[in-house]
Amino acid sequence: MSTITQPATVALSDQRSRPTMTIIAWVCAVLTALYMLPWAIAATRGKANAGTIGLINLLLGWTIIGYIVALVLALTPHGTKGYATLNA
Protein backbone atom coordinates (compact mmCIF):
# COMPACT_ATOMS: atom_id res chain seq x y z
CA MET A 1 0.00 0.00 0.00
CA SER A 2 1.51 3.34 -1.00
CA THR A 3 1.23 6.57 0.90
CA ILE A 4 0.32 9.74 -0.96
CA THR A 5 1.93 12.84 0.47
CA GLN A 6 0.93 16.38 -0.25
CA PRO A 7 3.59 18.90 -1.24
CA ALA A 8 4.39 21.39 1.49
CA THR A 9 4.85 25.10 0.89
CA VAL A 10 7.45 26.83 3.04
CA ALA A 11 8.42 30.50 3.32
CA LEU A 12 12.01 31.49 2.58
CA SER A 13 13.26 34.19 4.95
CA ASP A 14 16.22 36.54 4.97
CA GLN A 15 17.61 35.04 8.19
CA ARG A 16 21.40 34.57 8.14
CA SER A 17 23.79 32.81 10.46
CA ARG A 18 26.79 34.95 11.41
CA PRO A 19 28.44 33.44 14.51
CA THR A 20 31.40 35.87 14.51
CA MET A 21 29.16 38.94 14.46
CA THR A 22 27.00 37.43 17.19
CA ILE A 23 29.97 36.88 19.50
CA ILE A 24 31.36 40.38 18.86
CA ALA A 25 27.91 41.93 19.42
CA TRP A 26 27.43 40.18 22.76
CA VAL A 27 30.93 41.10 23.95
CA CYS A 28 30.23 44.74 23.04
CA ALA A 29 26.83 44.58 24.76
CA VAL A 30 28.37 43.28 27.98
CA LEU A 31 31.27 45.76 27.90
CA THR A 32 28.90 48.70 27.35
CA ALA A 33 26.52 47.66 30.15
CA LEU A 34 23.88 46.48 27.61
CA TYR A 35 23.93 49.74 25.62
CA MET A 36 24.51 47.66 22.46
CA LEU A 37 21.80 45.14 23.38
CA PRO A 38 19.63 45.77 20.27
CA TRP A 39 22.60 44.90 18.03
CA ALA A 40 23.30 41.73 20.02
CA ILE A 41 19.66 40.67 19.74
CA ALA A 42 19.63 41.34 15.99
CA ALA A 43 22.85 39.39 15.46
CA THR A 44 21.60 36.47 17.56
CA ARG A 45 18.32 36.33 15.63
CA GLY A 46 20.20 36.41 12.32
CA LYS A 47 18.61 39.61 11.06
CA ALA A 48 19.81 40.55 7.57
CA ASN A 49 20.13 44.19 8.66
CA ALA A 50 22.02 43.50 11.92
CA GLY A 51 24.88 45.77 10.85
CA THR A 52 22.50 48.65 10.21
CA ILE A 53 20.82 48.08 13.56
CA GLY A 54 24.24 48.14 15.24
CA LEU A 55 25.11 51.41 13.50
CA ILE A 56 21.81 53.03 14.47
CA ASN A 57 22.32 51.85 18.04
CA LEU A 58 25.89 53.16 18.14
CA LEU A 59 25.15 56.58 16.65
CA LEU A 60 21.62 57.29 17.90
CA GLY A 61 21.21 54.96 20.87
CA TRP A 62 22.18 57.69 23.32
CA THR A 63 18.83 59.26 22.55
CA ILE A 64 16.02 57.21 23.97
CA ILE A 65 14.23 57.31 20.62
CA GLY A 66 17.27 55.90 18.76
CA TYR A 67 17.61 53.07 21.26
CA ILE A 68 13.91 52.19 20.96
CA VAL A 69 14.08 52.30 17.14
CA ALA A 70 17.08 49.95 17.14
CA LEU A 71 15.35 47.61 19.59
CA VAL A 72 12.13 47.53 17.55
CA LEU A 73 14.11 46.80 14.37
CA ALA A 74 15.92 43.96 16.15
CA LEU A 75 12.65 42.40 17.31
CA THR A 76 10.61 42.67 14.11
CA PRO A 77 9.92 39.45 12.17
CA HIS A 78 12.27 38.37 9.41
CA GLY A 79 11.43 39.41 5.88
CA THR A 80 10.04 36.83 3.45
CA LYS A 81 11.96 36.38 0.20
CA GLY A 82 9.49 34.01 -1.39
CA TYR A 83 7.94 30.60 -1.13
CA ALA A 84 9.12 27.13 -2.11
CA THR A 85 7.26 23.86 -2.57
CA LEU A 86 8.75 20.75 -1.03
CA ASN A 87 7.80 17.39 -2.49
CA ALA A 88 8.34 14.44 -0.20
Cβ neighbours around 23 below 10 Å, total: 13
- What would the pLDDT profile of 14-73 be if each residue is shown by its tens digit? 898 999 999 999 999 999 999 999 999 999 999 999 999 999 999 999 999 999 999 999
Nearest to 67 by CA among 38, 46, 26, 30: 38
Beta bridge partners of 85: 9
More confident residue, 7 or 71: 71
Tell me what pLDDT residue 2 has: 63
Cα gap 79→44, rounded to integer Å: 16
Tell me what pLDDT residue 80 has: 85
Q: Delimit the domains of the chain by residue range.
A: 15-86
